[in-house]
Chain A
Amino acid sequence: MPESPRLALWNKSIFLFDLLPIRRWEGPFRRAGYGKAGESPFPYVVGREVLLHDGQNFKTPDLISASGSFWVVLDLTYFPGSKERRLREYSEISPRALRSFGFPPQDGPPILFSVRPDRVDDGPYPQLILGDTLTTANLDCCADSALREEFERVQGHDLRTVPGTSITLLPESKGPEIKEALVPSILELFSPERPVLSALDMVDRGLERLADVVSATSKRTLCRAVEAEMRSLLLGDDALLKDDIEFAEAGYKARGNMSYHPNKLNRVRRALVAWSADQRPGSPQRGLSDFDPDRG
């Protein structure tokens, strides 16, 4: 299953705040004092609506964090064009908004970071380029000298195996990303309690803490995409799990009595690997994936 590039960007961004002593990693934001335990209840907040200076309008940046002296707003994007205008809009976020999250109070404007997998000119803002390795651009535009130093220290760090997070779906997720996000929910259907999960349940599970902040429109779009992917898994003569899962009135449900014999569990696993390997949205399976260790 090829990893979702959008999720990879999220995972790599969160990695910059992580403390993982076993792999000898302390993220640059963390080392520079952002989201420090004892000074704020959260290391960062994601996808939260925040008030602008005008006191009337709101924005929903991807990630906000604060240290004792500075605060940052991160915009994560794959958009090929410049995000300079969006970043400029984020400069209108009121520092008073930080109080809602328990961050240390701030006076000045945020340091606005553009976060991308590849270099794109997003104007005079510091940019984090999170591809296979970590690079930066326009770091001199970052007002926090301690943070600049920390990013200079980790330049070139290998990002290919950063940990995943609990967020497995994003509002802009498409076919293959959706399939990958659906895997654990589909396995969950086989629990002895035989839960019924709707498309919305599955979407909320994938969005995780973003579920409360994603718009109803985006969720409806995601639900339709989930339903299309589930149809490819359950309907048609070639559908791999048509005998195992049915669509009940309220959602998806495992059929009949489940045997937890390893052969049965392995068959379901192989079916999901094969289904997920097909990258066309809503497409039926074509064959075993290159990632199936039992291939052959």
Chain B
Amino acid sequence: MAHANAAFLGKDLLGLEDLTAEQITAILDTAEPFKEVSERPVKKVPVLRGKTIVNAFFENSTRTRISFEFAEKRMAADTVNISSSGSSVQKGETLVDTARNLEAMRIDMVVIRHGSSGSARFLAERIQSNVINAGDGKHEHPTQGLLDLLTIRDHRGPIAGLRVCIVGDVLHSRVARSNIHGLRKLGAEVAVCGPQTLMPPAIGELGVTVFKRIEEAIEWADVLNVLRLQLERMKSGFIPSLREYNRVFGVTRARVERAPRDLLVLHPGPMNRGVEIDSDVADGPHSVILQQVTNGVAVRMAVLYLLAGGAPEQAEAAKTGGGE
């Protein structure tokens, strides 16, 4: 059931660039019934009972790993976590051998986060198990992109025609890339804004508008997705200082209040309060940051369900334990 058959999404979820608009919409629709599971006193549906899932996190992550773990456990799967420290990878075992060993133990699904772009595809090409990309280098973080889409849809309705601006260090951001692909496929107008030193070359050729100043972006946008600025970017010379970054590009209350429309503000977390986003925005009425986290579990449940062979139209029945 968990192997490469005619499952709706194919064998793996490696990125939103590979999906069609129909597939993306189906994942979001499938997540709707699973939202409710997390609201119950007993948060359990047996949809993945008997499935073995490994969370292979070669890069540190708390929130994404916990989110996946909850999604897996709430659907009754057996889960095991591998983290980078203390793993065989530190003893020099290659990614190939890690993959083959997992497969030899007949793991059904692997959720992988790794520091090298392309590493999720690398794994998927070498093992039969379903592979879910939880973030590969700077390339994609598809479940984050999906939960961002779901959150925007919850609060602003259909994505098509919405103006969404991704703000910050787009150069190093897999969240940005997944967002760009997902939003464009669903018909949104997409823009990016940040210092040119943190913009990927040729980004305009992906079909996005580039704003050089945050004021222009806020003037234009319905939705802002604010990216975390990693503190080491200052040390590497991309920006002169964090203070300068906040003064020139920070999403501050004053700037948000000057927006012509009722801005929605997202952030993938964790936040650097006072750097890319001020606390009174993050905690204020425009922010849906916590809803993103809630939606994250539902979206991951939907993805696991679909990769395991579940049909989108049976998700509603599945959530009551009567599915597949």
A and B part of one assembly: no
